[in-house]
C-alpha cells in the first residue's frame, strides 16, 4: 500500500513539474509584452532557444541513464534548464525582487525531477547552470526610458557650466 501511494505521489510531482517548467519563461514573456519591452522578448527567446538546444545536444551526446531506468536522456535536466532560464531572465532583465517567485517555482521543478526519479542532483544542477548561463549571454537589464538632457551652459557670456535635466 505504501509503495502505491509513493508511486502516485511521484507521478503527481512529475506531472506538476511537466507543467510548472513553463511558468517562469511564460511569466518573463508576458512581462516583456506588458511593458512593451520587445528587446527583452527577443532576448528571452534567444536565451530560451540556446538553453533548449544546449540541453538536447548534451542529452543525445552523453546518453546518461535516468534513475528510473526509463531512457538514456537524463543529463542535463531540460525541465530545470527551462525553468531557471525564465527565472534568471526576470532577475537579469527586471530585477531580483521580481524573480523570487520564479526561482521558487524553478527550485520546486528541480526538486521534483529528482524526487520523481527522472534525474539526479547533478542533472538538475547542470540544467540550472545551462538555463542561467544562456540568460546571462543574451539578456541585458531593462532600462526605463527617461528623458535625460545634458548640455554645456553659458550664463551671461561669463560663466560656463553643465545643464542637466531628467524627467521620470
pLDDT of residue 33: 95
Q: Kindly indicate the confidence band of residue 34, based on its pLDDT and cuts at 50, 70 and 90.
A: very high
Selection from 38, 27, 13, 11 nearest residue 102 by Cα? 27
pTM greater than the 0.85 cutoff: no
Q: Can you spell out the DSSP letters for the chain?
A: -HHHHHHHHHHHHHHHHHHHTTHHHHHHHHHHHHTT-HHHHHHHHHHHHHHHHHHHHHHHHH-PPPTTSS-S--SS-HHHHHHHHHHHHHHHHH-HHHHHHHHHHHHHHHHHHHHTTS--HHHHHHHHHHHHHHHHHH--PPPPP-EEEEEEEEETTTEEEEEEEEE-
Q: Kindly indicate the confidence band of residue 142, based on its pLDDT and cuts at 50, 70 and 90.
A: confident
* pLDDT of residue 167 exceeding 90: no
Say if CB 129 and CB 51 are below 8 A apart: no
pLDDT of residue 143: 67
CA distance 105 to 133: 18
CA distance 106 to 102: 6
Amino acid at each position: 500500500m505504501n509503495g502505491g501511494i509513493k508511486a502516485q505521489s511521484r507521478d503527481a510531482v512529475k506531472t506538476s513539474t511537466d507543467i510548472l517548467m513553463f511558468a517562469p519563461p511564460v511569466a518573463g514573456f508576458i512581462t516583456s509584452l506588458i511593458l512593451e519591452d520587445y528587446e527583452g522578448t527577443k532576448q528571452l527567446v534567444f536565451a530560451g532557444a540556446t538553453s533548449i538546444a544546449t540541453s538536447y545536444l548534451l542529452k543525445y551526446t552523453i546518453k546518461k541513464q535516468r534513475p528510473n531506468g526509463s531512457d538514456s536522456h537524463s543529463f542535463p535536466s531540460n525541465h530545470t534548464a527551462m525553468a531557471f532560464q525564465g527565472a534568471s531572465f526576470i532577475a537579469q532583465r527586471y530585477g531580483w525582487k521580481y524573480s523570487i517567485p520564479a526561482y521558487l517555482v524553478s527550485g520546486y521543478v528541480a526538486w521534483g525531477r529528482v524526487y520523481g526519479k527522472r534525474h539526479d542532483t547533478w542533472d538538475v544542477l547542470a540544467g540550472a547552470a545551462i538555463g542561467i548561463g544562456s540568460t546571462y549571454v543574451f539578456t541585458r537589464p531593462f532600462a526605463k526610458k527617461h528623458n535625460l538632457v545634458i548640455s554645456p551652459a553659458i550664463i551671461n557670456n561669463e560663466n560656463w557650466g553643465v545643464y542637466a535635466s531628467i524627467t521620470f
